[in-house]
Amino acid sequence: MHISIGVAAVFLGAFPISAQPTDAADRPAFEVVSVKRTQGQPVNSGFRRAAGGVLNATNVSVRFLIEYAYDVRDDQVSGGPAWLDSERYEVLAKPGGDTGEGAKLIKLRTQSLLADRFRVMLHRETKELPVLVLTVAKNGPKGLRASTAGSPDFVDNGRHLNCQRVSMAMFAKEFLARKTGRSVTDKTGLAGDFDFTLDWTPDDAQPGSAADAASAAPQFPSFLTALQEQLGLRLEQSKGPVEILVIDRAEKPAEN
């Protein structure tokens, strides 16, 4: 069995598609929105830090915005014209007055922005797709400590993961699904919240010089091997129902 681990997208969670207001008029919106095509070939892409409920995105695709607004991964978005991936935009959007700045509010406003400026129309479907199942390896779990932390927390730098107060269901849905790019279901049978760490060598890591290797930190195995050796867990391939967004319509925006 071979499971390919891809590079995780920045910020993107592996969550079920959020329930949204049935009437788009009930959905909060930004008061001021600027949308412009990206000029040149900028290096960076993603979100810039912004306070006060502001959305500040640079060099992003519309598909990227859809994934952000609806809390889905790339494999959960289907359909739409090719330019949703190929064309890049600078988006600056601000709410009016003191209307709150929670992540959920910003995502709902981004949904309104997509509908108003890009004329995005979509619907939900459930399809039978390849999924992964998190199970306990033959020799049982290890490295999992009953948590005393106050709240759940993931710290991931691409080769080291530190989890606090994380259940196996949360680990499967919010980290492993993002890491693998597939839906992951917890079937470990391990109840409770845990603290644990995980160290691995990224698949795309480039070896350095001999001198660098001599002074480097200890070498770790690949992600899937580390998962089994350090935590006593494994991922198995399966098929199951996955909820996806199907893009029915999208239009290029008028710039301002």
- How far is it, in rounded angstroms, from Cα 88 to Cα 11? 18
Most confident range, picked from 24-28, 199-203, 249-253 = 249-253
Q: Is the dihedral of CA 77, 78, 80, 81 positive or negative?
A: positive
Tell me what percent of the residues of the chain surpass a pLDDT of 90: 62
Whether this model's pTM surpasses 0.75? no
Token reading at 165 = 């107060």
- How far is it, in rounded angstroms, from Cα 24 to Cα 149? 39
pLDDT surpassing 90 at residue 20: no
Residue 40: per-residue pLDDT: 84
Residue 256: per-residue pLDDT: 84
- How far is it, in rounded angstroms, from Cα 129 to Cα 10? 23
- How far is it, in rounded angstroms, from Cα 82 to Cα 170? 33
Residue 206: per-residue pLDDT: 53
Pairing of strands 55-60, 46-47: antiparallel
Tens digit of each residue's pLDDT (9 = 90 or more) over 90-113: 999 999 876 666 888 999 999 999
Q: How confident is the model at residue 168 (pLDDT cuts 50, 70, 90)?
A: very high
**From the CB of residue 207, how many other CB atoms can be counted at a distance below 10 Å?**
9
Residue 247: per-residue pLDDT: 97
Tens digit of each residue's pLDDT (9 = 90 or more) over 209-238: 444 444 445 578 999 999 999 999 999 999
Residue 178: per-residue pLDDT: 87
> What is the mean predicted confidence (pLDDT) over 71-94?
94
Residue 99: per-residue pLDDT: 61
pLDDT surpassing 90 at residue 44: no
Residues contacting residue 11 through CB under 8 Å, at least 6 positions apart: 46, 47, 68
pLDDT surpassing 70 at residue 4: no
- Please state the φ and ψ torsions of residue 80, each to the nearest 5 degrees: 90, 160
Residue 12: per-residue pLDDT: 33
User: What's the number of CA atoms in the CB half-sphere (13 Å) around residue 27?
Assistant: 22
Q: Give SS3 for 45.
A: coil
Token reading at 52 = 């006060």
Residues contacting residue 14 through CB under 8 Å, at least 6 positions apart: 73, 173, 174, 175, 176, 177, 178, 183, 184
